[in-house]
C-alpha cells in the first residue's frame, strides 16, 4: 500500500512530518510522499523519519495553478527541496497567501464575526496559513458547525469571506517543478470541473507544457472517474499516481493510505514513477 498525497503541519495537516512518517510505517505503507501546499520545509524531516521506519519517503510539493474555472493543483515528485529557484517561486506564492489571508480576515470581520489573526494562527503549527485554519477558528468561535459548514457559508469561492490570491499558471508551475528536478502531476482531476472533453483538452495542453502524470487514484474519485483518468494517462503516456490527500485531524474521515476506506493505490506505481523520474535524469538515491 502506498500514499503519494499527504500533508503535514507545514501546510494544512495536523501531524508533524515525523509523526506522519511514523503513521505511514504503522499503516504498513511501503512508500509515501509529503506534498505540502506551496512549501517544502518539512521534506527533509519527513524523508529522515521515513527512512528510520522503513518507508520509501518521496519528496514532494503541491502547487495551486491559475485556471478560469474549477481548481487545478500540480503535484511535484522527487523534487530537490533545497532548490533555490523552486523556493523563490514558493516564497512568492506564500506571500500571496499572506495578502489573501489578511483580506479574508477583514471580510469576515466586516460581516460582524469577532475573529482575530491570533485565533487563526493558533491552528497553524508551522508556516503556511490557509482557509482550513480559518474554518477551524470559525468553528472554535461557534460561528459554524464544521469545516465544511465554514466553506459553504464563508470561505468557498463566491462566498462572502472568500478572497483570491496569486497563483502560477499551470505551465509555470510545471516548469518550477521541473527546474527542481521533479515530475509534475495533475492532482485530483475532477476539481478542474471541465467535463470529459474539457478535461481531455486540458490534459493535452498540459502534456505539451511538460505534464508528467495524472493522479488517477484518489479518495474522492468514483470508479467511473478512476477509469476515465486511467484512460487519459494511457492515451497521453502519462505516469499514474494516487493518494489519499491525508490531512489528519483537518479531515478525520480520510485515513492515510485508505482514504474513505476503499482507496487502494497499487504499490508498483511508486517504482514506475521513480523509473520515469530516472529516465528524465533523476538520481537513484533520491532528489
Q: Which residue is it, cell 495551486?
A: 64
Instruction: Give per-residue pLDDT as tens, 188-245.
Output: 999 998 899 999 999 999 999 999 999 999 999 999 999 999 999 999 999 999 999 9
| Residues 185 and 212 sit within 8 Å (Cβ to Cβ) | yes
What gap in Å lies between CA 145 and CA 139, rounded to an integer? 6
All domains in the chain, ordered by first residue = 2-82+170-279 (3.20.20.140), 91-155 (1.10.150.650)
Place of cell 463566491: 158
pTM: 0.87
Q: Mean pLDDT throughout 168-185?
A: 97
DSSP state of 190: G
How confident is the model over 107-144, as pLDDT tens digits? 999 999 999 999 998 888 666 788 989 999 999 999 99
Q: Strand 2-6 and strand 213-218: pairing?
A: unpaired
Average of pLDDT values for 259-274? 96
Amino acid at each position: 500500500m502506498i500514499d503519494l498525497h499527504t500533508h503535514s503541519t507545514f501546510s494544512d495537516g495536523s501531524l508533524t512530518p515525523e509523526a506522519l512518517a511514523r503513521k505511514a510505517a504503522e499503516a504498513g505503507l511501503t512508500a509515501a510522499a509529503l506534498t505540502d501546499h506551496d512549501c517544502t520545509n518539512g521534506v527533509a524531516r519527513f524523508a529522515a523519519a521515513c527512512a528510520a521506519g522503513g518507508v520509501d519517503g518521496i519528496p514532494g510539493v503541491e502547487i495551486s495553478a491559475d485556471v478560469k474555472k474549477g481548481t487545478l493543483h500540480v503535484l511535484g515528485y522527487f523534487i530537490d527541496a533545497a532548490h533555490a529557484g523552486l523556493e523563490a517561486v514558493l516564497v512568492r506564492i506564500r506571500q500571496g497567501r499572506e495578502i489573501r489571508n489578511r483580506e479574508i480576515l477583514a471580510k469576515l470581520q466586516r460581516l460582524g464575526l469577532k475573529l482575530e489573526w491570533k485565533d487563526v494562527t493558533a491552528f497553524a503549527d508551522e508556516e503556511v496559513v490557509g482557509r482550513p485554519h480559518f474554518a477551524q477558528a470559525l468553528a472554535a468561535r461557534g460561528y459554524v458547525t464544521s469545516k465544511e459548514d465554514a466553506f459553504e457559508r464563508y470561505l468557498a469561492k463566491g462566498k462572502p469571506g472568500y478572497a483570491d490570491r496569486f497563483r502560477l499558471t499551470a505551465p509555470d508551475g510545471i516548469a518550477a517543478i521541473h527546474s527542481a528536478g521533479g515530475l509534475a502531476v495533475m492532482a485530483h482531476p475532477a476539481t478542474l470541473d471541465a467535463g470529459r472533453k474539457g478535461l481531455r483538452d486540458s490534459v493535452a495542453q498540459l502534456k505539451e507544457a511538460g505534464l508528467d502524470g495524472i493522479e488517477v487514484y484518489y479518495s474522492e474519485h468514483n470508479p467511473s472517474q478512476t477509469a476515465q483518468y486511467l484512460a487519459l494517462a494511457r492515451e497521453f503516456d502519462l505516469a499514474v499516481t494516487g493518494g489519499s490527500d491525508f490531512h489528519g485531524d483537518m479531515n478525520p474521515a480520510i485515513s492515510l493510505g485508505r482514504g474513505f476506506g476503499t482507496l487502494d493505490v497499487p504499490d508498483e506505481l511508486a517504482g514506475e514513477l521513480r523509473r520515469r523520474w530516472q529516465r528524465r535524469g533523476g538520481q537513484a538515491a533520491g532528489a
